[in-house]
Amino acid sequence: MNVDLKNKIVVITGASKGIGRELARNFAYEGASVVINYFHSENEAIELFKEINNYNSNCLLAKADVTNYDDVLNMYHQVINKYSRVDILINNAGKCDDDLIYFMSEEKWNRIIDVNLTGTFLCCKVFTKIMARQNCGKIFNISSLKGQEGCSGQTNYSASKAGVIGFTKSLAKEVGQFNISVNAVCPGFIVTDLNRHNQKKVSIARNKSVLDLSSTLSDFINFMMMMCSDNIQGISGRVFTLDSRIL
Cα dihedral 81, 181, 34, 17 in deg (nearest 10) = 120
Work out the number of other CB atoms within 10 angstroms of the CB of residue 106: 7
Work out the number of other CB atoms within 10 angstroms of the CB of residue 179: 15
As a whole number of angstroms, the distance between CA 170 and CA 84 comes to 27
Q: Where are the beta strands (DSSP E) in 113-177?
A: 137-142
Say if CB 90 and CB 12 are below 8 A apart: yes
Task: Note the residue count of the chain.
Answer: 247
As a whole number of angstroms, the distance between CA 65 and CA 42 comes to 12
Q: Where are the beta strands (DSSP E) in the chain?
A: 9-12, 33-38, 60-63, 88-91, 137-142, 180-186, 239-241
Say if CB 138 and CB 171 are below 8 A apart: no
Q: In Å, how far are 33, 181, 183, 198, 217 from 26, measured between CA atoms? A: 11, 22, 20, 27, 12
Catalytic residue among 29, 83, 102, 157: 157
157 is catalytic: yes
Say if CB 185 and CB 143 are below 8 A apart: yes
Largest CA distance in the chain: 51
Which residues are annotated as catalytic?
Answer: 157
